[in-house]
Structures are given as structure tokens and as C-alpha cells.
Structure 1
Amino acid sequence: MSKTLDEVINSLSPERRARIEQRGRELIREEMTLQALRKQLELTQEGMAERLDIRQANISKVERRSDMLISTLRTYVEAMGGTLELVAHMPGRGPVTLEGFADGSGGHK
């Protein structure tokens, strides 16, 4: 007989369920589109357009892009109240935060 997902999850120990739920939250945080992030922050495209002093249609274009300038992404993230860091993950070593991309001054703060 087949079990539903709820039945399988309910059969796990509370500790295991907690670990699974935590990992799920981590995965959701790790992979998010600009549109999903904006919506999670309860911001509209119109509100973002006002913050960036551009047309709403341009917000839609930015959110659909798969390739953009780092400066464009940084400006968009900052308009949502965040900061942007560029982190490289290299084999055999920990994550490295790349400098010179964090602000619009070419790395000179």
C-alpha cells in the first residue's frame, strides 16, 4: 500500500522533521528569483519602479533577465533594502567574497 507524503513525514521523529524543514527553508532562501524576492518583501513592480525612478515595464524586463550587469542587479537589490555580495565557490577552498563589486565606485568606498 502506498503512503502519502504527510504519512511519511508524520512517521519521522520530531528531530528529523525539524532538520528536513530547516533544510527546506535553506533551499528556498538559496534559490529565489528577483520577482519572488520582491513579492516576498511585499513590494510591487510599481513600487520598485518608483524607488528606481524607472517605468514599471522596465522592472518586468529586469526580473525576466537571465543575464545583466552586476551594477543593475546591485541597484535593484539596494532598492529593495538589501546589499549585494558576489561570492565565488572554488574547489578545495571556502567561499571567497569578490571585492570591487559591492558599490558603484569601482570598489573604492
Structure 2
Amino acid sequence: MCASNRCEMDAIDLAIGFTEVRSEEIEIEPLFLERLTLMTSASHTLASRTDALGLDELQALPLALLTRGFVSSAFTDSYFRTHAIEQNARPRARSNNR
């Protein structure tokens, strides 16, 4: 049983999670806001750029993303899907912690 269901049933008092929970039975308070950022080496042409990338620019970039199953992958996958962007990420990287 997931934490949100256990909170609704008063089986637990507190849960910390990464995703939005939609339930009238649960009060949610964000702990902090996290931003996903694009990282490059210092020598990359985008390293000194300060303005946001356009969707076309983002789609054209070869990306190194974590394998599916990581929370950050769910966010990036959702972002790309929402904006109809074809991901240019092959192969996906694994974390040393997994």
C-alpha cells in the first residue's frame, strides 16, 4: 500500500515524497522547491549562456539522463511529453547508487 493511501487511512501520520498527491483527505505542505537544471562542462558552448534554452534547442541537444525509475527521470519524461519533444538521450546513464 502506498504512503498516500496509508495516510488517508490514518495508518501513518507523516510521509515524505516527490510526487504530487491529490487527495482531499491529505494535507500537503511542500518542504522545498527543486529545479532541474541543464549541466555542461566548462568548455561547452552553452556553459556561459545565461538565458533559457528554447524547446527546439533542447530537443536538438544530445542528453545524458538517468535510467527510468529515478524520480528525476519521471520529471524529465513528463516535461518532454508535455511539450512534444523527442528525447535525444541514448544511452541513459545509471547512478552509482543503484
Q: Same fold (TM over 0.5)?
A: no
Q: Which has the higher helix share?
A: 1
Structure number with higher strand proportion: 1
Relative contact order, higher structure (CA 8 A, sep 6+): 2
TM superposition score normalised by structure 1: 0.28
